[in-house]
Amino acid sequence: MAIGDSFTAGQGAPPYSSETCKQSKWAGYPRIAAAASLGAYKLTANNACSGARIADVPAQLAGADPATALVTLTVGGIDAGSNGVLAACAAGPDTDQCRAAIAASTAAIAALGPQLVGLYNQLAATLPDARIVVLNYPRLFKPGAAPLGELVNAGTDALNAVIAGAVAATGNPKVTLVNVTDEFAGHAIGDKLPYIGFNPADVTAAANFHPNALGNLLGYTRALVSDGVLRR
């Protein structure tokens, strides 16, 4: 079962089965990962939704089979203010609007740890037989390509550190972290073969700043395979 935000929904890989939640019909990592498990797992539901915050995730377990063996999720980016930073800093990182958004995001990230610990523990308690696999976020921009990219990448690094700390703080061996940053390295916006979607002709496109089909296959799914998650 897949839950969480737009990165798990597959927003970067249209077409969508739900325009509201931007769940990819064919190329989200949950569907690809289920196929890559070679029968070890069957995807029963992708309830992840674009714009989902930490507080939204428990409701995504509604109707979950008690026998669910694996839950994957990404969450925290919206709570960290990622959308606000991208919108405020699009015109340049040296504006008052951008600096205010970054300051707000920095403060929000610092406060996310206890919320994530509570969520991970709640998921594990709700589905005690399941492994809860938390995936983090890739750097969106090629290092050194643009000032805005450097700011966004720094924010991603900070959020990933909080996510890793929260997973460790649960003390629950069934709650594990899969770090996707190595798989996406060299494949950000600005690289020759990006795993992140961005259409410069339509900067407001829904798929922008999310893993594309390649990112879901060679980024997220490869990370799940490399960490042994898709084997029973």
Active site residues: 6, 210
CA atoms within 13 A on the CB side of 193: 9
Residue 156 phi, psi (nearest 5): -60, -45
**Residue type at 48?**
A
Contact in structure between 201 and 211 (CB atoms under 8 Å) = no
Taking the C-alpha atoms of residue 143 and residue 133, their distance in angstroms, rounded to an integer, is 28
- Tokens linked to 6: 């737009």
Helix axis angle for 147-170 and 112-126, nearest 10°, is 50
